[in-house]
Structure 1
Amino acid sequence: MPDYVLSCCSTADLTHDWLESRNIKYIFFNYYLNGEVCKDDFGATNAPAELYAKMLAGAEAKTSQISAGDYMEHFEKFLADGKDVLHVTLSTGISGTYNSACTARDQLAEKYPDRKVVVIDSLAASSGYGLLMDRMADLRGSGMGIDELAAWAEEHKSEVQHWFFSSDLTFFVRGGRISKAAGLVGGMLKICPVMDVEPDGSLAVKEKIRTKAKAVNRVVEKMEELAEGGLDYSGKCFISQSECEDDAREVANRIEAKFPKLDGKVEIFPIGATIGVHTGPGTVALFFWGEKRA
Structure 2
Amino acid sequence: MSDFILSCCSTADLTKEHFEEREISYICFHYEMDGKQYDDDLGQSMPFEEFYKAMANGAETKTSQINAEEFIAYFEGFLKQGKDILHVCLSSGITGVINSARIAKEELEERYPDRKILVLDSLAASSGYGLLMDRLADLRDEGKSIDEVCQWAEEHKLNLHHWFFSTDLTFYIKGGRISKASGFIGGVLNICPLLNVDNNGKLIPRFKIRTKKKVIRAIVDKMEEFADNGLDYSDKCYISQSGCYEDAREVANLVEARFPKLKGKVEINYVGTTIGSHTGPGTVALFFWGSKRIN
- Pairwise TM-score range, normalised by the shorter structure: over 0.9
Q: Is the 8 A contact 1:239 1:252 kept in 2?
A: yes
Per-residue displacement from partner, 1:46-79 (whole Å, max 9, x unpaired)?
A: 2222222222333221111100111111100000
2:37 is the counterpart of 1:37: yes
In 2, the alpha carbon distance for the partners of 1:278 and 1:93 equals 14
Give the aligned partner of residue 219 of structure 1: 219
Using the size of structure 2 for normalisation, the TM-score is 0.98
In 2, the alpha carbon distance for the partners of 1:60 and 1:282 equals 17
In 1, the alpha carbon distance for the partners of 2:148 and 2:48 equals 37
Q: Deviation of residue 232 (structure 1)?
A: 0.6
Q: Deviation of residue 32 (structure 1)?
A: 1.3
2:109 is the counterpart of 1:109: yes
Give the aligned partner of residue 139 of structure 1: 139
In 1, the alpha carbon distance for the partners of 2:266 and 2:53 equals 27
Counterpart of 1:30, as a letter, is H
Q: Name whichever of 33-42 and 127-136 sits farther off.
A: 33-42
Q: How many residues matched?
A: 294
Counterpart of 1:226, as a letter, is F
Counterpart of 1:26, as a letter, is Y
| Contiguous gaps of at least 5 residues in structure 1 | none
Counterpart of 1:218, as a letter, is A
In 1, the alpha carbon distance for the partners of 2:58 and 2:266 equals 34
In 2, the alpha carbon distance for the partners of 1:246 and 1:56 equals 17
Q: What percentage of aligned pairs have identical amino acids?
A: 61
Q: Is the 8 A contact 2:55 2:281 kept in 1?
A: no
In 2, the alpha carbon distance for the partners of 1:11 and 1:154 equals 19
In 2, the alpha carbon distance for the partners of 1:37 and 1:176 equals 24
Per-residue displacement from partner, 1:140-194 (whole Å, max 9, x unpaired)?
A: 0001100111111000001000000000001111111111111111111110000
In 2, the alpha carbon distance for the partners of 1:100 and 1:124 equals 17
Q: Which runs of 4+ in 1 moved over 3 A?
A: none
Q: Is the 8 A contact 1:101 1:119 kept in 2?
A: yes
CA RMSD of aligned residues (A): 0.8
Q: Is the 8 A contact 2:228 2:291 kept in 1?
A: yes
Q: Deviation of residue 255 (structure 1)?
A: 0.5
1:165-184 to 2 correspondences below 5 Å: 165-184=165-184
Secondary structure of the equivalent of 1:149?
helix
| Contiguous gaps of at least 5 residues in structure 2 | none
Give the aligned partner of residue 23 of structure 1: 23
